[in-house]
Amino acid sequence: MRLKKIILPAVLGIAAFSAFAMDLASVNEKIANLLKPYNNESSMADVKFLALESNDTRVTHLSAAGQVWMKNQFEASLSMPEFSYTYPTEESTPELKIKLDLKAQLVAIFGADYLDQMAVEAEDLVKSTAEDFVSDYGPAAIVDAKVTDLTKDADGHVSSLKLHIDLKIDMSKLPESKPVEKVEVQDLRIDLTVDQTSATLEGKVHPNKKYFLYQRDQKGLKEIVDGLLNDNKETYDDVMSYIEFVAWGLDYLTKAHN
């Protein structure tokens, strides 16, 4: 699977999920109600908006943080210490910043041999990522995707791995097959660090404000906000799908698979 088809929708999906309302207290109350089924002796989920500003047409600034914890055979947690989205003026460039921290006993869950194989595949994956972007965007794409560090323990098993992806799109050099309205981002930077008990992802993205979903005749963040505040079932279903996906992922990481 192409990495860009995972990263870009995931980042844009997080942005959409995190901008559902204009009233901070109302949003936090609604999100807390959605998370109630996940707060018990074997799991915990807490997501709160820290700041939210908007005008008549778009969200201009938001900040959020959250944490999900689960316990089965093992314990695992995913925290989001940083999430911010800014788009203050029509002339400015939207910016998304995010940091995710995962804690899990990866060796006990998957086994050292499996993690070693994943490290090998990661190196191939970052190479194919660069090739995919160049293939789609031609001379407009400037890509730096690589494994920046790989260490092994005394037994020869991978103990830590660092990946770096830096993408820039020169809109003036786009091929005819790729109009500017179909380009999701101007640039992005992602750094991923994984060791035997944790993983950290840090990312910064500048979305392309000429991307078709930013246009006023398209369903955007403002419309999603109205849907949540008006108890729109489709909007709530979208929110629950993100929550359920995170819960499924953590549940998987609390059971042995080796």
Per-residue pLDDT reduced to its tens digit, 188-240: 999 999 999 999 999 999 999 888 777 665 566 666 666 766 778 887 888 78
pTM value > 0.95 = no
Structural domain contains residue 258: no
pLDDT of residue 222: 67
pLDDT of residue 224: 67
Structural domain contains residue 142: yes
Radius of gyration of the chain (CA): 20
Tokens read off for 142: 């400037």
pLDDT beneath 50: ranges in the chain: 1-4, 6, 12, 14-21
pLDDT of residue 225: 61
Domain ranges, residue 170: 4-252
pLDDT of residue 215: 67
pLDDT of residue 55: 78
Q: How many domains does the chain have?
A: 1
pLDDT of residue 236: 80
Structural domain contains residue 257: no
